[in-house]
Amino acid sequence: MIIKREIGGKGQVVIPKDIRDFLNLRLRGNIVFEIRDNEVLLKSEDDPEKIIDDYCNVPGKKKNTSIEKIKKIILEKYNEIP
């Protein structure tokens, strides 16, 4: 699907409703712009806890970490716990 849009005076572009619905984008939600070569990929933002949970629950994969350990590492990195 190819859709053209005009860039507004503030550099803004309206995302068509069909695309917002397809990507499940909601008002005040976040999106991710990924630049690849000469292209920009627009994606809905993944929930970080879901990513960790999916990683830790892959069947047949032995991991030496847990969700709690990953969360602790992230919190320590961003100085959110003493």
User: What DSSP assignment string belongs to 8-45?
Assistant: -TTS--PPPHHHHHHHT--TT--EEEEEETTEEEEEEP
Split at pLDDT 50, 70, 90, the class of 80 is low
pTM above 0.85, yes or no: no
Range in 12-26, 36-50, 66-80 with the lowest mean pLDDT: 66-80
Q: Which of 24-28, 46-50, 72-76 has the highest mean pLDDT?
A: 24-28
**Residue-range domain boundaries for the chain:** 1-45, 48-77
Mean pLDDT of 31-59: 79
Which of 2.120.10.30, 2.10.260.10, 2.40.10.500, 2.70.98.40 would CATH assign to domain 1-45?
2.10.260.10
